[in-house]
Amino acid sequence: MSSTETAPGFAFDFDRAVFTAAFAEKVQPLVIDEWGLDPEAVAATGGDPDQLVTLVTEKTDSSKALARKHLSEIAEVAGVKVRGLEARLQGLIGRLEAATGPVGERAAQTQEALRARAAETQAAIHDRAARTQEALRELTEQGQHVIEEIQQAVPQAEETVKENLWTALLAALGIGLLMGLIVGLSRGR
> From CA 164, how far away is CA 162, in angstroms rounded?
6
Angle between helix 28-35 and 64-77 (nearest 10): 130
Q: What is the mean pLDDT of residues 136-147?
A: 89
Q: What is the predicted pLDDT for the residue at 175?
A: 92
Do 165 and 173 touch, CB atoms closer than 8 A?
no
> From CA 140, how far away is CA 117, in angstroms rounded?
34
Q: Are strands 10-11 and 5-7 parallel, antiparallel or unpaired?
A: antiparallel
- Does the pLDDT of residue 8 top 60, yes or no? no
Q: What is the predicted pLDDT for the residue at 11?
A: 65
Within 13 Å of residue 89, how many CA atoms lie on the same side as its CB? Answer: 4
Q: What is the predicted pLDDT for the residue at 3?
A: 40
Could you report the per-residue pLDDT of 57-115, keeping only the tens digit for each? 998 888 998 988 888 888 888 887 655 566 567 667 767 777 777 777 777 788 888 88
Query: pTM for the full model?
Result: 0.41
Q: What is the predicted pLDDT for the residue at 76?
A: 82
Q: What is the mean pLDDT of residues 122-151?
A: 88
Q: Please name the helix (run of DSSP H) or strand (run of DSSP E) that holds residue 6, with its range, or none.
A: strand 5-7
Comparing 176 with 72, the larger pLDDT belongs to 176
Distances (CA, A) of 187 to 74, 114, 181, 182: 110, 66, 10, 9
Q: What is the predicted pLDDT for the residue at 90?
A: 65
- Does the pLDDT of residue 161 top 80, yes or no? no
44: pLDDT confidence band, cut at 50, 70 and 90?
very high
